[in-house]
Amino acid sequence: MARPLIQMALDSLDFDATVALAEQVAPHVDIFEIGTPCIKHNGVNLVKALRAKFPDKLLLVDLKTMDAGEYEATPFYAAGADICTVLGVSGLATCKGVIKAANAHGAEAQIDLINVSDKVACARATAEAGAQIVGIHTGLDAQAAGDTPFGDLNDIARLGLPVRISVAGGIKQSTVQDVVRAGANIIVVGAAIYGAPSPAESAREIRELVDAV
């Protein structure tokens, strides 16, 4: 299996603080995620700024699109996004719209399985529709209620679908190696990095742990 990628979730609302945090952790991560609250607050100009500043990083825009897939995602791909997310609960037509926009830009679409009741069926259908990435995701509110993404990861990994698997939801130093061993291709880390006393040091630790598996 290819080396798993580390995705840093930039979940601040502040434009300059987001760019500054990205600078701190850049040596240790592969993908910058512009988180949903952050992209809603700052818009496409933040995509352009990060694209210009980090030409060699992958950029994921966490749109969590719910309708008008192609129309909503197109300007973000045009601004330099490598990956945009679309909600699996939006339905196949919306997912297909984001996949179409991704393909038109030589980019990728990620289906976020957050709150999907039949995650296996959704992953199968959207993989068949051409999605490149399926995201197993326990959101911040569900984490606060004690949920984790680990059970869902096992269910999706065993399908052997022709997609990469991204996992998000409270991943930290003590769990990241289990996530890699369970078959994740992209490991998303937010609070365990941005909430640490030294985000750069925390990102470096995560990188070492992932590479040691």
Name the residues that contact ligand LJD2ZHX5, by CB under 6 A.
Answer: 9, 11, 35-37, 62, 139-140, 168-171, 188-192
Q: How far is the CB of 176 from ligand LJD2ZHX5 (least distance, A)?
A: 10
Pairing type for strands 58-65 and 164-168 reads unpaired
Which CB atom, from 102 or from 114, has the smaller least distance to ligand LJD2ZHX5? Answer: 114
Q: Which two tokens stand for residue 189?
A: 């880390």
Q: How far is the CB of 38 from ligand LJD2ZHX5 (least distance, A)?
A: 8
CB-CB contact of 44 with 26 (8 Å):
no
Q: Which single residue is written with the structure tokens 């995701």?
A: 137
Which CB atom, from 101 or from 168, has the smaller least distance to ligand LJD2ZHX5? Answer: 168
CA distance 45 to 173: 32
Q: How far is the CB of 122 from ligand LJD2ZHX5 (least distance, A)?
A: 17
Q: How far is the CB of 202 from ligand LJD2ZHX5 (least distance, A)?
A: 11
Residues 6+ apart with CB under 8 A from 120: 155, 156, 159
